Chains A and B, each alone.
Chain A
């Protein structure tokens, strides 16, 4: 630590202040402020539902679940719910849907939305007059193939009934459009080129994404199962925002109390600890808002606990410096030895906490997952702000003649 000098403290202080300002105020749209953090539905209110297939005696395949996602995306579009999360759980064969419930939507009925979303999608092929030619249940499957010139084609396989109906329709409609609908949404409207007797192909796709999209939508209409919301929860926006306010107020009060305690009890290292804790909190909020991690109530609890760990680390260090100062070491030595000896305990403590956080991330679902993430980030940041930044600051301050009294580091006045 040779490069530390008198100005180091101010450099770290200014950086901390800048990070804090950045976290709380934000810069334009790229770095969002703490107020723009993406909150979970338990805070902003909303709906969370786990859909599982019904009437299926096997687990759904990954393709089928992907199709389910497509249907749900389409339907949420229809409901004008754009800020949503759809997660596929291949292991358990489930689809998890989350979407917020905005406070201005007074007539919004979350239960109805959940019920509607789970209904089976109806795929229909219709002629220009709107008459249904073939229904989704007659489609066996659809896949994407390429022809000799490299164009992407969507191939359709019908059952016998479907084949016959499709042949009749195509012979009648050469040169006209056949429209494919998912519920009441027009998905595609290809022109019939020839009479199709055995299945069919829909061509003229320049890129594979379009073709795969259509194919998977057709497949989803051909799903052998419908969905049922086996688990779902709704939280009204007012209840959630109340909870957030309580957490934030409690957090601010607790933070102030801890800072007062640290400064009164540990003096100079205590003051530095408070700056370090502010840095840790600001960095954590920045990470959450930049990475757009969804912050839930348990997530906030994780932040508070990580701060608690940070306080713990600072107490270990300050206590050690105090001990060394009381046993008569010079201030410089007390700081150097204090940090050196305290670091192993802090390291072991933080690493074990990280083991717990990682397990929460692996095994957790919903609430515990969010808790695991924030705890992990917080403890990781603690290495930086709790050990490195605070050491730089304390050492730098000790170079000022006026701050070199052992009393500032916890030694008793008589010994100073």
Chain B
């Protein structure tokens, strides 16, 4: 039996330290919403040869008279150059304007083989609705899961099980959120998808631990909540680690491939997912379990305290 409950302070400190690092980055970088949520336009062109980023931005700005920033990225693996034009939410580009930009760029850079590889325009109000729907889905998912856990784990005092599972979920969501912040990945719909997946994964891990606690709760030798939890977590440890590792390795493989082939949309999906999976396993073992024990111990102390009080009154 491993002493998870007794080491809880170390676990809490580790998590808090990571949160603190995340907070520092949050203060420095701020929250960077993708145009999917805040609105605006992004145009990505592939080209060969040399193009001056500022000059190209000047041409675009001169054509449609809207402020633009441009950035050039070079992909070593595929040997393609890419120039990205970004427009803010209040100066999103209409399809007609995009045709004009296309024409202007082709005239100015006839030998660079400019081809549009990706374009994305989002009106701010549609973006806000996406974000709102996503957040509603997240909150509802969390609430429904807590209710489900509460009902299914009545025997190990459902409310505390549900609430502690929720705290573990919040822990993992924060980890995913800070991954986006620390790596400077703009929040987009992949963010919502990753968050929801991690909620599903994390609760899965927590449930396996709770399931064992429920099964062991009838054992006479495990009256103390700390012993009960430590024993149950130890028994399910191999499973927790193996599952987390298997899925983590899957995501890392996807991440490496996406990185090698320069598919950014998958990189920004796989990286927070991989970290979320690790966090999900960690929080179930090191956070949800000890917290549940703390609640149970508090309840026992409280009822003893009440009994003493009542005795004192009756005498």
Give the interface of A toward B (CB within 8 A).
42, 49-50, 52, 92, 109-112, 114-115, 118, 228-236, 238-239, 242-243, 245-247, 249-251, 253-254, 257-258, 261, 265, 297-298, 301, 304-305, 307-309, 311-312, 315-316, 319, 323, 341, 344-345, 348-349, 351-353, 355-357, 359-360, 362-368, 371, 375
Name the one of B130, B199, B242 contacting A319, with C-beta atoms under 8 angstroms.
B242
Judging by beta carbons under 8 Å apart, are B265 and A243 in contact? yes
- The 10 A-B pairs with the shortest beta carbon distances in the complex, nearest first, are A115-B95, A230-B123, A363-B137, A349-B204, A308-B247, A250-B257, A111-B98, A345-B211, A114-B95, A233-B120
Query: What is the chain B residue whose CB lies nearest that of A258?
Result: B246
Instruction: Sample 7 A-B pairs with CB under 8 A, ordered by A number.
Output: A115-B99, A118-B95, A232-B120, A348-B148, A349-B204, A351-B148, A355-B141
Question: Does B308 have its Cβ within 8 Å of any Cβ on chain A?
Answer: no
Interface size on B, residues (CB 8 A): 70
Q: How far is the CB of A256 from chain B (nearest CB, A)?
A: 10
Question: Does B186 have its Cβ within 8 Å of any Cβ on chain A?
Answer: no
Judging by beta carbons under 8 Å apart, are A352 and B257 in contact? no
| Contact partners of A357 in chain B: CB under 8 A | 200
Complex Cα gap A93–B101 (Å): 30
Query: What is the chain A residue whose CB lies nearest that of B100?
Result: A111
Judging by beta carbons under 8 Å apart, are B207 and A349 in contact? yes
Complex Cα gap A298–B253 (Å): 16
Q: How far is the CB of A262 from chain B (nearest CB, A)?
A: 8
Judging by beta carbons under 8 Å apart, are A246 and B261 in contact? yes
Complex Cα gap A111–B116 (Å): 10
Judging by beta carbons under 8 Å apart, are A356 and B120 in contact? no
Q: How far is the CB of A302 from chain B (nearest CB, A)?
A: 8
Judging by beta carbons under 8 Å apart, are B203 and A349 in contact? yes
Extra inter-chain contacts (18) besides given A111-B119, A375-B197, CB under 8 Å:
A114-B95, A232-B121, A233-B121, A235-B118, A239-B117, A242-B78, A242-B263, A301-B193, A315-B246, A319-B238, A319-B242, A348-B149, A348-B152, A355-B145, A356-B196, A356-B199, A359-B140, A360-B193
Question: Does B126 have its Cβ within 8 Å of any Cβ on chain A?
Answer: yes
Give the interface of B toward A (CB within 8 A).
46, 78, 94-96, 98-99, 102, 115-123, 126-127, 129-130, 133-134, 136-137, 140-141, 144-145, 148-149, 152, 189-190, 192-193, 196-197, 199-201, 203-204, 207-208, 211-212, 215, 235-236, 238-239, 242-243, 246-247, 249-250, 253-254, 256-258, 260-261, 263, 265-266, 269, 273
| Contact partners of B140 in chain A: CB under 8 A | 359, 363
| Contact partners of A319 in chain B: CB under 8 A | 236, 238-239, 242
Name the one of A249, A258, A308, A323 contacting B257, with C-beta atoms under 8 angstroms.
A249
Judging by beta carbons under 8 Å apart, are B190 and A367 in contact? yes
Known: A115-B99, A298-B193. A110 touches B116 (CB 8 A): yes
Judging by beta carbons under 8 Å apart, are A352 and B243 in contact? no
Interface majority SS (helix, strand, loop, mixed), chain A: helix
Complex Cα gap A228–B92 (Å): 13
Judging by beta carbons under 8 Å apart, are A308 and B152 in contact? no
**Most central of B118, B204, B236 by chain A CB within 10 Å:** B204
Complex Cα gap A278–B239 (Å): 21
Judging by beta carbons under 8 Å apart, are A367 and B119 in contact? no
Complex Cα gap A121–B149 (Å): 55
Known: A250-B253, A352-B203. A359 touches B119 (CB 8 A): no
Query: What is the chain B residue whose CB lies nearest that of A112?
Result: B99
Query: What is the chain B residue whose CB lies nearest that of A234?
Result: B119
Name the one of A250, A254, A309 contacting B204, with C-beta atoms under 8 angstroms.
A309
Q: How far is the CB of B92 from chain A (nearest CB, A)?
A: 8
Complex Cα gap A121–B142 (Å): 46
Q: How far is the CB of B246 from chain A (nearest CB, A)?
A: 5
Judging by beta carbons under 8 Å apart, are A368 and B204 in contact? no
Q: How far is the CB of A74 from chain B (nearest CB, A)?
A: 19
Q: How far is the CB of B117 from chain A (nearest CB, A)?
A: 5
Name the one of A234, A251, A305 contacting B118, with C-beta atoms under 8 angstroms.
A234
Complex Cα gap A315–B136 (Å): 33
| Contact partners of B239 in chain A: CB under 8 A | 315-316, 319
| Contact partners of A247 in chain B: CB under 8 A | 254, 257, 266
Judging by beta carbons under 8 Å apart, are B99 and A109 in contact? yes
Complex Cα gap A50–B102 (Å): 21
**Most central of A250, A341, A359 by chain B CB within 10 Å:** A250
Query: What is the chain A residue whose CB lies nearest that of B39?
Result: A231
Q: How far is the CB of B261 from chain A (nearest CB, A)?
A: 5
**Most central of B95, B126, B238 by chain A CB within 10 Å:** B95
Query: What is the chain B residue whose CB lies nearest that of A354?
Result: B200
Name the one of A109, A232, A356 contacting B102, with C-beta atoms under 8 angstroms.
A109
Judging by beta carbons under 8 Å apart, are B145 and A236 in contact? no
Judging by beta carbons under 8 Å apart, are A242 and B95 in contact? no
Query: What is the chain B residue whose CB lies nearest that of A236?
Result: B117
Judging by beta carbons under 8 Å apart, are A261 and B246 in contact? yes
| Contact partners of A112 in chain B: CB under 8 A | 95, 99
| Contact partners of B211 in chain A: CB under 8 A | 344-345, 348
Complex Cα gap A52–B281 (Å): 44
Judging by beta carbons under 8 Å apart, are B197 and A305 in contact? yes
Judging by beta carbons under 8 Å apart, are A312 and B134 in contact? no
| Contact partners of A245 in chain B: CB under 8 A | 261
| Contact partners of B115 in chain A: CB under 8 A | 236
| Contact partners of B121 in chain A: CB under 8 A | 229-233
Q: How far is the CB of B43 from chain A (nearest CB, A)?
A: 9
Complex Cα gap A356–B196 (Å): 7
| Contact partners of A345 in chain B: CB under 8 A | 207-208, 211-212
Judging by beta carbons under 8 Å apart, are A364 and B137 in contact? yes
Complex Cα gap A357–B258 (Å): 25
Q: How far is the CB of A134 from chain B (nearest CB, A)?
A: 29
| Contact partners of A341 in chain B: CB under 8 A | 215
